[in-house]
């Protein structure tokens, strides 16, 4: 049912991608005079005078081992935000096509749609922050190219029912993007093992959250070989810089440290929930599968401002539909969480 040629933009189908010096010669050589680099070096301790590997082969090989997905099914972006943008540019004709988002959800889908002049159809989540499958089915038309599902969802924190996502994957002839930025914290299984099952699945993950590398800007998309090929064609040739590739590769060997932090974050999350529960301005704390919690309060704006005055910044989501009165609080270190609790206990 899914046919990539039916949803690919014609200009992208016909695109001859930029061919870099590193694409045209990949063998062994000792003298590289093909890329107009400065052959003398860099004014740094480390040498960065050579262009990085456009296909990030080593990072992908390491990710392939960790994730159990072949390297040819992995795309790397300058953050997963770049992968989102490339999906729009590959599949959505500006001014013609549309995408479906399911608010309240991650804000970049909408911004990226607006930048690319792609119409957005909003189908609100239900009261318990799950998919409204009927509403989505009604919203789909012949120009609907992408559906974005964030699970665990930002800012609500919950995972989306797996069966519902599978229903979409099985019935939608466009691409279902499952954004798993917070999957390392989740009790739910990742969708990356389902790539062979669904040709229209794109899973997004990132090194920015649990992996602690937000500053490096490395995001991943996992999809069929044919979708990955399109994304590689559209991406800027050297989209992951040399420093990010080298450091990501080093970091990927420290998986044990990351797992310790994940465990500790989850313990801290439970602890924070227990302390918040007893505060009289807290009306509800939504179940979280992520490293943050969504907290419904009686007076979000003044609590937010009070915390700012005490040097503590949380995210005010109280103006977001279905999140009225809510603050989104990221789980910090034990000391930071304690400071938050102590400060909130003195809020009047």
Ligand X SMILES: *Cc1c(COP(=O)(O)O)cnc(C)c1O
Which stretches of the chain bind ligand X, using CB under 6 A? 79-81, 106, 150, 154, 179, 181, 206, 208-209, 214, 219
CB of 264 to ligand X, least distance (A): 20
Which residue of this chain has its Cβ atom nearest to ligand X in the complex? 79
CB of 204 to ligand X, least distance (A): 6
Residue-level length of the chain: 348
CB of 159 to ligand X, least distance (A): 12
CB of 20 to ligand X, least distance (A): 24
Tokens for 234? 């559209």
Q: For the purposes of burial, counting CB atoms within 10 Å of the CB of 239, is it exposed (0-12), middle (13-18) or buried (19 or more)?
A: buried
- Long-range contact set of residues 9-16: C-beta below 8 Å, sequence gap at least 24: 9/89, 9/90, 9/91, 9/92, 9/93, 12/89, 12/90, 12/91, 12/230, 12/233, 12/234, 15/233, 15/234
Of 148 and 172, the one with the shorter C-beta distance to ligand X is 148
Tokens for 190? 């990742």
Of 154 and 318, the one with the shorter C-beta distance to ligand X is 154
Of 8 and 84, the one with the shorter C-beta distance to ligand X is 84
**8 Å CB contact between 202 and 178:** yes
**8 Å CB contact between 326 and 318:** yes
Within 10 angstroms of residue 121's Cβ, the number of other Cβ atoms is 19
Of 8 and 102, the one with the shorter C-beta distance to ligand X is 102
Within 10 angstroms of residue 136's Cβ, the number of other Cβ atoms is 21
Cα torsion 242, 247, 250, 256 to 10°: value is -150
CB of 5 to ligand X, least distance (A): 28
> For residue 174, what are the contacts with CB-CB under 8 A and spacing of at least 6?
2, 7, 91, 140, 144, 145, 146, 147, 200
Question: Is the Cα dihedral 89, 94, 98, 99 positive or negative?
Answer: positive
CB of 61 to ligand X, least distance (A): 20
Of 219 and 325, the one with the shorter C-beta distance to ligand X is 219
CB of 86 to ligand X, least distance (A): 12
Of 79 and 104, the one with the shorter C-beta distance to ligand X is 79
Candidates 135, 130, 89, 131; CA nearest to 113 is: 89
CB of 84 to ligand X, least distance (A): 7
Of 91 and 106, the one with the shorter C-beta distance to ligand X is 106
Going from the C-alpha of 100 to that of each of 18, 69, 166, the distances in angstroms are: 31, 27, 16
**8 Å CB contact between 337 and 271:** yes
Of 104 and 325, the one with the shorter C-beta distance to ligand X is 104
Question: Is the Cα dihedral 46, 219, 228, 59 positive or negative?
Answer: positive
CB of 219 to ligand X, least distance (A): 3
Of 8 and 218, the one with the shorter C-beta distance to ligand X is 218
Measured distance CA(216)–CA(219) in Å, rounded: 9
């Amino acid at each position: 049912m899914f046919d990539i040629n039916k949803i690919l933009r014609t200009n992208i189908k016909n695109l001859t991608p930029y061919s870099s010096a590193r694409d045209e010669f990949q063998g062994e050589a000792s003298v590289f005079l093909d890329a107009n680099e400065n052959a003398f070096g860099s004014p740094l301790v480390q040498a960065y005078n050579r262009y990085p590997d456009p296909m990030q082969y080593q990072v992908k090989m390491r990710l392939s081992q960790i994730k159990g997905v072949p390297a040819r099914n992995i795309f790397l972006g300058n953050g997963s935000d770049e992968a989102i943008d490339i999906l729009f540019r590959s599949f959505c004709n500006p001014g013609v096509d549309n995408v479906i988002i399911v608010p309240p959800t991650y804000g970049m889908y909408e911004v990226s749609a607006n930048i690319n002049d792609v119409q957005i159809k909003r189908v609100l989540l239900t009261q318990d922050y799950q998919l409204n499958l009927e509403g989505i089915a009604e919203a789909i038309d012949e120009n609907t190219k992408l559906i974005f599902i964030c699970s665990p969802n930002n800012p609500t924190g919950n995972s989306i029912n797996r069966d519902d996502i599978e229903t979409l994957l099985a019935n939608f002839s466009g691409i279902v993007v499952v954004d798993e930025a917070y999957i390392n914290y989740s009790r739910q299984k990742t969708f990356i093992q389902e790539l062979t099952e669904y040709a229209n699945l794109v899973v997004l993950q990132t090194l920015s959250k649990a992996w602690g590398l937000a500053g490096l800007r490395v995001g991943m998309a996992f999809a069929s070989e044919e979708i990955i090929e399109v994304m590689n064609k559209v991406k800027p040739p050297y989209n992951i810089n040399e420093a990010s590739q080298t450091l990501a590769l080093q970091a990927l060997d420290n998986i044990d440290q990351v797992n310790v932090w994940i465990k500790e974050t989850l313990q801290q999350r439970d602890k924070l929930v227990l302390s918040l529960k007893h505060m009289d301005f807290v009306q509800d704390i939504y179940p979280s599968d992520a490293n943050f919690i969504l907290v419904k309060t009686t007076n979000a704006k003044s609590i937010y401002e009070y915390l700012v005055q005490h040097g503590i910044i949380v995210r005010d989501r109280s103006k977001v539909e279905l999140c009225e009165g809510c603050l989104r609080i990221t789980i910090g270190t034990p000391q930071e969480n304690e400071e938050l609790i102590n400060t909130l206990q003195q809020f009047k």
